[in-house]
């Protein structure tokens, strides 16, 4: 067995070698290394355009890699502690879908928290798998869903021993981690695969002071958004497999939906970013955690805001906390998070990751400067001074437990009719409604629409949340399952 060297970047090295060969291109893409599209080349730069190339023998092929892509994936697997790593160019959405479709065929059950990203429920629509939802814990003061309680997972396993897999969010958008080791051990005792949506957990693999990663606890598959905290280009991601999961079968599943024209810009960014994290990750993420802690402390000194962290840990639904996450509760100053989000962007030229009803999330990475953090803190202090108001009358929302009447696939493809949103209570939704980000459905296909859900949707719209999911782009009408005559 060859000992792999993490300071190599095989895809980047192959592209550099290819550029020096001065090959005349009579293949796609048609911009021909940028010469055919001068405006695009001026905008993106010649370096970028010359490596936007097609699969060919010297550069390997993502759908069946045997040389440089294969070597890059092997290096990533070693860096992440996995049996194999697949480079994904359709985002972590396609990695989550590949996990679910690998584990479950039509009609088979999968246990998952209801506060999953839409990509997991989309996978159920595509595959016909049946969700068994575990309602996450809830922190009523902060209005955020937490992780899954081990006892709730155990109950779901006992009630559905025929389930094929369990899906875990690690961490949630807010930085909350479930007890992955206990859940993984429990699932394996009952012959179930463990799939982990690690969209926000890339850094867990490269810093020993952060929460446990999926591969470190023996999970079977994990979808990792390298482009979030890992530094690669948007839409690039990695799917990890472990244990007895078949590499060949997973690649077949990936190739059902992933492009046959894998972008070398995205793949080389994964390769270079993996090299950087493998060599420097401990130092990088210690610095990020330090910046986040400094900013948390400064925000908490302002008063009114609550930047929360490890003090929330309870050994179960908040088993651990990602200290690189800067999540801030805003309701005590009388402003929903989405309003603080809008004010920061519109009046202070500060773009944070998202705002929801009660909280904001500022994504901190190694690319931030101390000056930027100070600017954020100063803006939040000024927003409190200028805009804070009485918090009475603010929507006190917490997690709404869904009533699932149909599987997502049944409802999505069922005969349907369009109704005005306000007249839809009592009917079964055949589509999603969600605020994006974070992209966690308020309503998913197959769930009964209630007045409580409609009030929450209206409140989100009134406060300026970006709503999405329905066929009606204005989110005024909703498709519901047609009732039999």
Contact between 181 and 217 under an 8 Å Cβ cutoff? The reply is yes
Axis-axis angle for helices 118-127, 91-103 (nearest 10):
50
- Comparing CA positions, the residue from 447, 475, 472, 473 lying closest to residue 460 is 475
**DSSP 3-state percent helix, strand, coil across the chain (nearest 5):** 40, 15, 40
d(CA 67, CA 230): 24
Strand 416-420 versus strand 477-481 pairing type: antiparallel
Please, what are the domains in the chain? 281-387 (3.90.1150.10), 408-481 (3.90.100.10)
Q: Which residues, in sequence order, are CB contacts of 225 under 8 Å at separation 6+?
A: 91, 92, 198, 199, 200, 202, 237
Give the pLDDT score at 463: 79
Give the pLDDT score at 439: 74
Give the pLDDT score at 398: 61
- Comparing CA positions, the residue from 279, 365, 264 lying closest to residue 78 is 279
The whole model's pTM is what? 0.94
Residue ranges in 363-430 assigned as alpha helix (H): 370-387, 408-413
What does the block give as tokens for 449? 């629409």
Strand 84-88 versus strand 237-241 pairing type: antiparallel
485 residues of the chain, pLDDT tens digit each: 456 789 999 999 999 999 888 888 888 999 999 999 999 999 999 999 999 999 988 999 999 999 999 999 999 999 999 999 999 999 999 999 999 999 999 999 999 998 888 889 999 999 999 999 998 888 888 888 899 999 999 999 999 999 999 999 999 989 999 999 999 999 999 999 999 999 999 999 999 999 999 999 999 999 999 999 999 999 999 999 999 999 999 999 999 999 999 999 999 999 999 999 999 999 999 999 999 999 999 999 999 999 999 999 999 999 999 999 999 999 999 999 999 999 999 999 999 999 988 899 999 998 899 999 999 999 999 999 999 998 876 766 666 788 899 999 999 999 999 999 999 999 999 999 988 767 788 899 999 999 999 998 988 888 778 889 999 998 999 999 998 76
What does the block give as tokens for 110? 């999968």
Give the pLDDT score at 1: 43
d(CA 310, CA 174): 12
Give the pLDDT score at 140: 83
């Amino acid at each position: 067995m060859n000992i792999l060297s993490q300071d190599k970047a095989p895809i980047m090295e192959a592209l550099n070698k290819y550029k020096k060969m001065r090959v005349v291109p009579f293949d796609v893409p048609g911009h021909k290394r940028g010469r055919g599209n001068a405006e695009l080349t001026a905008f993106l730069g010649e370096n970028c355009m010359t490596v936007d190339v097609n699969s060919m023998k010297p550069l390997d092929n993502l759908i069946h890699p045997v040389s440089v892509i294969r070597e890059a994936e092997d290096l990533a697997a070693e860096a992440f502690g996995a049996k194999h790593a697949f480079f994904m160019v359709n985002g972590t959405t396609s990695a989550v879908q590949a996990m679910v479709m690998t584990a479950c065929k039509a009609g088979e059950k999968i246990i998952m928290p209801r506060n999953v990203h839409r990509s997991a429920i989309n996978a159920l629509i595509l595959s016909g798998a049946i969700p068994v939802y575990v309602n996450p814990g809830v922190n009523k003061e902060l209005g955020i869903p937490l992780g899954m309680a081990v006892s709730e997972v155990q109950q779901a396993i006992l009630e559905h021993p025929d389930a094929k897999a369990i899906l875990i969010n690690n961490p949630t958008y807010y930085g909350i981690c479930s007890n992955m080791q206990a859940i993984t051990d429990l699932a394996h005792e009952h012959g179930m695969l463990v799939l982990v949506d690690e969209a926000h957990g890339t850094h867990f693999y490269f810093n020993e002071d952060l929460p446990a990663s999926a591969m470190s606890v023996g999970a079977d598959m994990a979808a990792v958004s390298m482009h979030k905290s890992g530094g690669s280009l948007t839409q690039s991601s990695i799917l990890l497999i472990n244990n007895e999961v078949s590499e060949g079968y997973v690649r077949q599943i990936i190739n059902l939906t992933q492009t046959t024209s894998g972008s070398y810009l995205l793949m080389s960014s994964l390769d270079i970013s993996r090299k950087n994290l493998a060599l420097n990750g401990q130092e990088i993420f210690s610095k990020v955690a330090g910046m986040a802690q400094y900013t948390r402390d400064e925000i908490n000194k302002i008063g009114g805001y609550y930047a929360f962290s490890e003090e929330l840990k309870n050994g179960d639904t908040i088993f651990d906390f990602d200290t690189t996450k800067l999540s801030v509760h805003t309701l005590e100053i009388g402003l929903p998070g989405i309003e603080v989000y809008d004010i920061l962007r519109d009046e202070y030229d500060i773009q944070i990751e998202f705002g929801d009803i009660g909280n904001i999330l500022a994504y901190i990475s190694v690319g931030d400067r101390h000056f930027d953090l100070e600017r954020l803190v100063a803006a939040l202090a000024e927003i409190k001074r200028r805009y804070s108001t009485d918090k009475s009358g603010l929507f006190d929302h917490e997690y709404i437990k869904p009533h699932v009447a149909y599987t997502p696939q049944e409802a999505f493809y069922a005969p349907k009719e369009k109704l005005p949103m306000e007249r839809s209570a009592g009917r079964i939704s055949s589509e999603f409604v969600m605020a994006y980000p974070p992209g966690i459905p308020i309503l998913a296909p197959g769930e009964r629409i209630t007045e409580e859900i409609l009030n929450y949707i209206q409140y989100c719209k009134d406060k300026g949340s970006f709503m999405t999911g329905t066929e009606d782009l204005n989110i005024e009408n909703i498709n519901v399952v047609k009732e039999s005559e």
